[in-house]
Structure formats: structure tokens, C-alpha cells
A and B are shown apart, each in its own frame.
Chain A
Amino acid sequence: EAGVTQFPSHSVIEKGQTVTLRCDPISGHDNLYWYRRVMGKEIKFLLHFVKESKQDESGMPNNRFLAERTGGTYSTLKVQPAELEDSGVYFCASSPGSGPYGYTFGSGTRLTVV
């Protein structure tokens, strides 16, 4: 079974540019989550999709961040325009249902804004 796949693994962009991160969840997982770890701090929740619907987007930092999940399959997280403080590692996770088992993380996208 393929795991959660994230693209790209690394991205370096200039302040003010736009970046789009992609996450392909495990096939059949209705739940998809985005988290990020900034500057070696804790991993923080950004949002939760159930199929194509946003179940909880309380962790999105501001309106420069836009997440979509077309057709309930893969998801994208767009940052526009990027700021220096957006640098960090963005993790995607997916799960088939509630509970921690089956809650699988991708390897993350390391975003560096210069």
C-alpha cells in the first residue's frame, strides 16, 4: 500500500512569490489533514478535510493560505504571497476514520522563504 505522498520535498522561494504544495493521501482515506512545523517548534494543525469538505480550518494562519481537495482525492495548499515566517516543514496526513491508528503522515515539504 502506497503511503501519503507529498510534492515537492523541498521548495525555496522568494518573499512575495506563490507556492503550491501537493498531498496525495492513502487511497480510500476520507480524512486528510495539513500540519506544519515552524522554526523547530511544535507541529501545529492547519486544517482537516473529510472527502472534499473542510471539516475544520481553525488552524489556518491567515488568508494567504488556501487549501483545496478536488474530488476528495489529492489536496493542495497554496501560499500566496509567501512571507518569511511561512518557512517550515508542511506535513500532510490521512486517515480512514477516527482514532490514531491509520493516521499516516507524509514525509513533509520543507519550505524556505528567502
Chain B
Amino acid sequence: GQQLNQSPQSMFIQEGEDVSMNCTSSSIFNTWLWYKQDPGEGPVLLIALYKAGELTSNGRLTAQFGITRKDSFLNISASIPSDVGIYFCAGQDAGNMLTFGGGTRLMVKP
């Protein structure tokens, strides 16, 4: 089946630093998504990308859909303690099903 390789698996950074994480896939997806999961909660959609090459921002978050439609990155600028959580990339195909990456656990030191 389809697989997304997400890296890094975890990051421990200082408050105020910028963060970057990415996902690659052997398959093409119609839509790339980035989710955040807080402890005890379900994933919440942060950014959705629909077109190859698309660059989208949501506050301090910026994500891009790779030209080949097989990769995406998420940047977080000027991290704050509430950015702590697990970030997942996901690809969506025509069937509505989501294929998730393994997640990046972000820890922020005040």
C-alpha cells in the first residue's frame, strides 16, 4: 500500500526557534495535508494543499506541496510552548481515504 515517510521522528527545540519537517511518498496524491495532535485529542487540520508547487501559510505555519506531488514540508516559525504536540502529514486520494506519515513529535523548551 501507499506509504509516507515523515522526518524527523522527534525534535526538541528552544522556544523561538524555527522548525521544519517533511514528508515523502512513492505515490502521487491529489491533496497533501498537515495535522497536529495534542495529547488526548484527535488530529486537527492545520493546512491543506491542492496544487503541485502550492505554498500556503497559516499564521506562523507555512507548508508547500512538492512539484512532483510526492512530497511536502511544514515550517513553523518562532516556536512557542503551545506548539508542542505530534505533527502528521497526510495524503488524500480520490477515494477520501487519508494516508498518514509516522508523525513528528515536537517538544519546545521555554
Contacts and interface: CB of A to CB of B under 8 A. Distances in A.
Interface of A: 4, 9, 31, 33, 35, 40-45, 48, 55-56, 59, 91, 93, 95, 98-101, 103-108
A100 B34 CA distance: 10
Contacts of A48: 95-97
A59 B101 CA distance: 16
Contact of B42 (A41, A45, A107): A107
A103 B97 contact: no
Interface in B2-23: 4, 6
A4 B102 contact: no
Given A42-B102, A42-B103, A45-B97, A100 B43 contact: no
Contact of A100 (B41, B42, B88, B92): B92
B33 A100 contact: yes
Contacts of B31: 99-100
Nearest to A4: B42
Which of A41, A95, A100, A108 counts the most chain B CB atoms within 10 A? A100
B40 A91 contact: no
Contacts of A108: 41-42
B42 A106 contact: yes
B42 A103 contact: no
Interface string B83-108: 00000101010011111111100000
Contacts of A98: 96
A42 B6 CA distance: 9
